[in-house]
Copies of this chain bind each other. A is one copy, B any other.
């Protein structure tokens, strides 16, 4: 479909403002002949008269006036695109699509978001919460810009930035604490240990950190979220391993004891991931430092 040109709409607007081809041409920084031809071309496209060529002064037709109104809108809209583009040119401003795994998002983000918003008020974080492999796939496709996740995790062609190491704690129902005074990973009762369902990296990290065997048939005890897991422990169904950020009082029910391990403590690593050769790498590093210090 043949469409008017933005240029032609500019010409029309100038003509409406100046009521004169020559004056309008000056405004548009073109010669009068150019503008004249432009308006004529526009009339041809629309198959409709836009101006009544009086000898003395040029006047727009009713349709011409109507069209000028729309034209102004359209130009204004396109200018908004450019303005927006320039506005977000500064580092850590504009939209940033951040993927976060479910065992980090609800605990860590509330801690850091206020500080980030304060430091980077023009940053528009779009949060996407999903499992590690899913957000990795999305960042590979380019549907996400940055990931906040737990290592170790294979992320080919990506830059990983280590942020901090996070210890695991043992969560068990009150009164069922192990009698030992010191707790080491070897003392865990595999039978009563509840874990997240497959796909959550927390499950794999916990198992690896504690040197456990891959439990074979635990489906009956697998949960879909840490919150669910905590509730199960709270009701005496068993024990579980919680990352430190999930152990804050306000997140836990009354009937749970949280016990820390002896050295060497089991841990997971938290960090950022972005596409190697992303033009925003330095921005992401800045953001990472801000997250650690938040």
Contacts and interface: CB of A to CB of B under 8 A. Distances in A.
Interface of A: 1-6, 9, 45-49, 51-52, 54, 56-63, 66-67, 70-71, 73-75, 77-82, 84-86, 88-89, 94-97, 126, 140-143, 145, 275, 279
Given A47-B86, A88-B48, A70 B80 contact: yes
Given A6-B3, A47-B89, A95 B78 contact: no
22 contacts: A1-B82, A3-B78, A5-B5, A46-B82, A47-B86, A47-B89, A48-B85, A48-B86, A48-B88, A48-B89, A49-B279, A54-B142, A57-B141, A59-B142, A62-B96, A62-B145, A63-B85, A63-B94, A63-B95, A66-B95, A67-B85, A77-B77
A56 B157 CA distance: 14
Contacts of A94: 62-63
B140 A54 contact: yes
Given A47-B85, A57-B141, 14 more contacts: A2-B82, A5-B5, A46-B86, A48-B88, A49-B279, A54-B140, A57-B142, A62-B94, A62-B95, A62-B97, A67-B81, A70-B78, A74-B77, A77-B77
Contacts of A1: 79, 82
Most buried by B among A1, A51, A74, A85: A85
A142 B61 contact: yes
A115 to B, nearest CB: 22
A81 B71 contact: yes
A56 B5 CA distance: 34
A114 to B, nearest CB: 22
Contacts of A126: 62
A145 to B, nearest CB: 7
Given A48-B88, A89-B47, A81 B4 contact: yes
A2 B80 CA distance: 12
A70 B2 CA distance: 20
A4 B83 CA distance: 11
A74 B82 contact: no
